[in-house]
Structure 1
Amino acid sequence: MEKENQQQPLSLPEIWQTTSLRITDEFPSPPIVLRVDDSIIGTLGNFSASTGKAKSKKTFNICAIVASALSNGTVLNYRASLPESKRKIIYIDTEQSKFHCKRVLKRILALAEIPDNEHPENLKFHCLRRLTPQMRLSVIENAIYNTENLGLVVIDGIRDLAYDINSPSESTNLITKLMQWTDERQIHIHTVLHLNKGNDNTRGHLGTELNNKAETVLQITKDEFDKDISSVTAMFIRDRDFEPFAFRINENSLPELIEDYQPKKSEKKQTFDYREVSEEKHREALEQVFSIGESLSYSTLIERLKKCYSSVCCEFGNTKAKQLKQFLCNKRMIVQGMDKLYRYNPDFYY
């Protein structure tokens, strides 16, 4: 199969015509390929991500996602349903040795209940550790455009496709590649990016772009009281949110669902938790925040958050205001433009 964007390039008038949209046009809903319970995590033509701090067991979680796709069934709480013509899967690892990659592969097959004495035909597993970021990107693109019946691509992790994750241009170009690949090939891509060590922000400008464009961003977090347990929540999801779930690693080194998981409450003094504020209160406060202008600078936004949330629900200081700002950005309740100014997004899904 020849890669589509290596064919004769379209002229600007032709591109203009192909990007046209009319109210009388009809489009089918994108096929759903991955769910958690009844919440849609992934569809063909879009991409999603998993994020978490180092050693939070992100790769174990990814193994469950791939295993569900490989078996077209349910693993942990992930339920896959790839169309018959989209059953091929590509798994890309960018940082581990082949020895450790094989352990990941064996884990996927075990979770999918597939014997490991013969490699499954519909799974391609590649280790790109030794390549440069530019070469990794080219190799992945070539594979995506030359693999028939492709439905799912996993990139663990996307940071290694960029030289500088804080470069706005490089980050935008990389995320644009994900959107191009998923749209042109009608596949789903799931990728992995670390959180910062000191907070729950995805790393660099690349993380910001990923949050802004991904269909779903899952967060994997170690339990505060039991480091053998990791929970999975939706940092952002376009569909309705799902109930957080958790898994532990069993004696066979496989992730195992913990039924009826309830995180223990810390005995530390409880402070204002912006995640427990109702949608109505958030809307009321944010409408007040942006009543002075459509777009706000960072410093003005922080001061307005403190003032307006105080009048609606409760008071807090600068540190909590900065955490609240990041929460609102992750939920796309407020968005930051290329001009670095922040704007209210009233169409958010809480």
Structure 2
Amino acid sequence: MKPVTTQQPQPPTPAEMWENSLLQITDNCKADTEVLYCNGAVIGTLGNFSASTGKAKSRKTFNVTALTAAALKNGEVMAYIGELPENKRTILYIDTEQSPYHCQRVIWRILRLAGLPVDSHPKNFKFASLRPYSPEQRLAMIEYAISTTPGIGLVIIDGIRDLMYDINNATEATNVITRLMSWTDRYQIHIHTVLHQNKADDNVRGHIGTELNNKAETVLQIAKSIDDNSISEVTAPLIRSIDMEPMAFSVDDEGLPKQEHDHEFGKKTVKRGFNYGELSDAQHRQALEATFANGDIKGYKAVIAALTDGYASIGYKRSYSIISRLKRFLTNKRMIEIDEATKAYRFNPQYYY
């Protein structure tokens, strides 16, 4: 009896790849799904990647723990908001530098920030320490995890430099960035990476840094405040969305990052809240009744759009960033509330102004 042979699928030819790559104006191309926000700006969408950069000890990982916690909570942590689709709630966190002990401290911070118990591990949160492996092994393991783990929406790679031997090698850098673009597009996920800056200036390190700046959807820069070394400032020098207002945070006695709302960025004070004196109680109530006239509103983007229209109906027309700060004010005052289970916002008519 002859052995049964299975024919391996052939890779697509250049002609087939070319035909599949052609676009027409009549094609139905859907907008990228927004999944990560910071201070009202979109910093992450499915099918793209972003990065956090900063000098050594600038608290980059602390910042990334807050971003990851927002995605795991699928809600708000500091100024970050995560809104992953129902079928993409699994998060992969890959650390390439730290020991298992310090990695476990990162896990603890993420769970605490997300409001989750620390005596059990969430099924939709995968954390891997790849410190012992070579760059090609790390790349192969990450690709395996992404391709075989169901329901992935977000992948954190802390740090991307360890996926290559030579940080200034153009071929290696192009290969790594090409992998990020391929993974995000093929699996419709978002990848957030971490890369150090040069000691002498604010440029990201090596050829990989140049490629990252050219291809990333958003680049967040984390730097210690010149005026207060205990505070780190987060800005977005490169962003495809609307400009992101800067954010500041410190680390409390438990080792958890906490937002500093009244921090002064240089000589300019950034208003971190909504000026409640601009509108009266009656005006807020009228605008909120208009906003929620059709019931609860699910999702951050949808509630911002509804608030924009609701407040415009009373003559208060403001930009996206102003409405995002207004939304935070309304939430803090419990004028609007969110159902953590359904992520739906609702008007609370019994609020105290």
TM-score, normalised to structure 1, is 0.73
Matched position secondary structure for 1:84: coil
Total equivalences in the alignment: 261
Matched position secondary structure for 2:123: coil
Matched position secondary structure for 2:179: helix
1:211 counterpart = 2:204: no
Distance 1:168 1:109, change over 3 A: same
Give the C-alpha shift of residue 205 in structure 1.
0.5
Q: Quick one: distance in 1 between partners of 2:236 and 2:161?
A: 20
Q: What is the aligned counterpart of 1:106 among 94, 105, 108?
A: 108
Q: Render the CA deviation track for 1:245-271: whole Å, top value 9, x for unaligned.
A: 1000011110000012213459xxxxx
User: Corresponding residue for 1:23?
Assistant: 25
1:228 counterpart = 2:239: no
Give the C-alpha shift of residue 27 in structure 1.
1.0
Write out the 4+ residue segments of structure 1 that deviate beyond 3 Å after TM superposition.
none
User: Corresponding residue for 1:289?
Assistant: none
What is the RMSD computed on CA atoms of the aligned residues? 1.3
Paired amino acid for 1:11: T
User: Corresponding residue for 1:129?
Assistant: 131
Q: Render the CA deviation track for 1:216-257: whole Å, top value 9, x for unaligned.
A: 000000011211100000020011111111000011110000
Q: Quick one: distance in 1 between partners of 2:75 and 2:57?
A: 27
**Which segments of 5 or more consecutive residues in structure 2 lack a partner in the other structure?**
1-7, 269-353
Matched position secondary structure for 1:85: coil
Paired amino acid for 1:173: N
**Which segments of 5 or more consecutive residues in structure 1 lack a partner in the other structure?**
1-5, 267-350
Q: Quick one: distance in 2 between partners of 1:182 and 1:82?
A: 14
Q: Quick one: distance in 1 between partners of 2:233 and 2:94?
A: 24
Q: Quick one: distance in 2 between partners of 1:44 and 1:242?
A: 19
Q: Render the CA deviation track for 1:263-304: whole Å, top value 9, x for unaligned.
A: 3459xxxxxxxxxxxxxxxxxxxxxxxxxxxxxxxxxxxxxx
Q: What is the aligned counterpart of 2:243 among 241, 244, 249?
A: 241
User: Corresponding residue for 2:289?
Assistant: none
Give the C-alpha shift of residue 131 in structure 1.
0.1
Q: Quick one: distance in 1 between partners of 2:113 and 2:149?
A: 24
Q: Quick one: distance in 2 between partners of 1:180 and 1:155?
A: 15
Q: Which structure would you say has the larger Rg? A: 2
Q: What is the aligned counterpart of 2:264 among 248, 262, 265?
A: 262
User: Corresponding residue for 1:49?
Assistant: 51
User: Corresponding residue for 2:61?
Assistant: 59
Alignment of 1:300-339 (within 5 A): none
Q: Percent identity?
A: 57
Q: Quick one: distance in 1 between partners of 2:231 and 2:39?
A: 20
User: Corresponding residue for 1:84?
Assistant: 86
User: Corresponding residue for 2:185?
Assistant: 183
Q: Quick one: distance in 2 between partners of 1:265 and 1:28?
A: 42
Matched position secondary structure for 2:143: helix
Q: Quick one: distance in 1 between partners of 2:56 and 2:9?
A: 42
Q: Quick one: distance in 1 between partners of 2:207 and 2:237?
A: 17
Paired amino acid for 2:263: Y
Q: Quick one: distance in 2 between partners of 1:213 and 1:172?
A: 11
Q: What is the aligned counterpart of 1:11 among 10, 13, 16?
A: 13
Matched position secondary structure for 2:105: helix
